[in-house]
Chains A and B, each alone.
Chain A
Amino acid sequence: MVTKMQERTKRPEPLVTLAGAGVRRGGRWLVRGVDLAVRPGEIVTLIGPNGSGKSTTAKLATGVLAPDQGTVMRRPGLTVGYVPQKLAIDWTLPLTVSRLMRLSAPADDRTIAAALDETGIPHLAAAAVQALSGGEFQRALLARAILRRPDLLVLDEPVQGVDFAGEVALYDLIRAVRDRTGCAVLLISHDLHIVMAGTDTVICLNGHVCCSGTPETVAASPEYLKLFGAKAADSLAVYRHHHDHTHLPDGRVRHADGSVTDDCHPDDGHHDHGHDHAHGHDHHHDHSHGHDHAR
Chain B
Amino acid sequence: MLDDFFTRALVAGIGVALVAGPLGCFIVWRRMAYFGDTMAHSALLGVALAHLLNVNLAGGVFVVAALVAVALLLLQRRGSLSTDALLGILSHATLAVGLVMLAFMSWVRVDLMGFLFGDILAVTRADIVLIWLGGAAVLAALAFMWRPLLAATVSAEIAEAEGLQPERARIAFMLLMAAVIAIAMKVIGILLITSLLIIPAATARRFATTPEQMAVLAAVLGAVAVTGGLFGSLQWDTPSGPSIVVAALALFLASLLPLGSLARGTASGQGSPQ
Contact = CB atoms under 8 A, between A and B. Distances in A.
Given A90-B29, A94-B208, A96-B209, A82 B157 contact: yes
Contacts of A59: 160-161
Nearest to B165: A64
A6 to B, nearest CB: 31
Contacts of B160: 59, 62, 64
Nearest to B213: A94
Nearest to A63: B163
Interface in B53-94: none
A104 B151 contact: yes
Contacts of A105: 147, 162
**Which secondary structure dominates chain A's binding surface?**
loop
Contact of A96 (B205, B210, B214): B210
B2 interface: no
Report the interface size class on chain A. Answer: 20 to 34
Contacts of A128: 209
A94 B205 contact: yes
B154 interface: yes
Contacts of B28: 92
B98 to A, nearest CB: 31
Chain A CB within 10 A, most for which of B151, B157, B205:
B157
A203 interface: no
Contacts of A1: none
Interface of B: 28-29, 31, 147, 150-151, 153-155, 157-164, 202, 205, 208-211, 213-214
11 contacts: A62-B161, A64-B160, A92-B28, A93-B29, A93-B153, A93-B154, A96-B210, A103-B147, A103-B154, A104-B162, A128-B209
Given A94-B205, A99-B210, 5 more contacts: A84-B158, A87-B155, A89-B154, A95-B211, A96-B210
